[in-house]
Amino acid sequence: MPAVKKPVVVALSGGVDSAVAALCLLRAGHAVEALHMTNWDDADEHCTAASDFADARQVAADLGIPLHHVNFAREYREQVFAGFLAEYRAGRTPNPDVACNRHIKFGAFLHHAERLGAEYIATGHYARVVHRGDRGYLYKAADADKDQTYFLHSVRSEALARTLFPLGELRKSAVRALAREYGLANHAKADSTGICFIGERPFRDFLAQYLVAEPGPILTLEGQTVGEHSGLPYYTIGQRHGLNIGGQANREQAAWFVAARDQERNALIVVQGHDHPALLSSGLAIGELHWINGEPGDLQAMGRVRLHVRLRHRQALVACELARDTREGVLQLQFPVPQRAATPGQYAVFYAGDECLGGGVILDTRSAA
């Protein structure tokens, strides 16, 4: 944190992480105010917005800090949710949390906090940031199991330069302990999971409100029909559960997994075996790239660079080589060891040591078969 104490506005969600982030800022001597965001305003039995706001108010009262409230539902629908639906319609599997961080939490929220007089914003993310001049450099959290840099890789450097991550050096167990010792009312509140605007509601029921999903055949690689799917958007690469494929004559009884979604035929392609070659990718095409502080030097100078990459949250880092493609704005990624269930629409996020350099969207995969 900055040596000179500054006015900080912390994003107070109502959860324990943001509450302890605010507590840490106060103990460090900052002038702290809190801002609670409402990003989804469809009220139903699955929506926790009202209870989350009530928890945030209680935390603010416990800490003795002012609490502001702002509704970003319109910005969220335009800048995050519209893209989420467009990706599903295109046959890809999006990750809206990445867009939410870039456009809402480190975009709209930052601008609103500045109007409240903040010199910095803070969140309860598990990540670290280093400030150098007007640039911010993103690093993995001390708690590797909770590290959230995967979801933060598309945040602009200028926004990171105005950001504090008070939990970056803490483990989750220590965060819970601090909340309990201080007597915060939400110290035992369960962590939120899944996509923020879906919450605990059934995923298929939610998507069915916005997408037309036609049932179609489930096919093997050889074209044999082995079942019927409910609609391609409801499945993702590597999925095992929910296929409802019964026993097949003259076939071993190994588990079935989704290998591909064929938009043209409205067909779900499946294979048997967790590590079937059709589930493994030797390389990827990556687009919509965002480098937090510019392309790596070797990529600029030689058109290729060796880094480590993460294809999903909490995945162990794996080695890769990136090289320029003939297509503008596209890079080819090569794995020395093929990777399982790489999914178009998801993100490849790049690291050099502990530093998160940025990432891009997986456009297509190259089978290891």
Residues noted as catalytic:
100, 196
Closest CA to 280 of 217, 208, 230, 341: 341
Distance CA 97, CA 105 (A): 10
Residue 202 tokens read as: 């059934």
Long-range pairs for 178-183 at CB < 8 Å and ≥24 separation?
178/20, 178/23, 178/24, 179/16, 179/19, 179/20, 179/23, 182/23, 182/62, 183/62
Residue 101, Cα to own-chain centre: how many angstroms? 8
Exposure pattern of 89-118 as b/e (b: 16+ CB <10 Å)? eeebbbbbbbbbbbbbbbbbbbebbeeeeb
Closest CA to 26 of 52, 69, 60: 60
Residue 269 tokens read as: 């392609």
Distance CA 346, CA 150 (A): 11
Cα pseudo-dihedral 205, 210, 211, 212, rounded to 10: 90
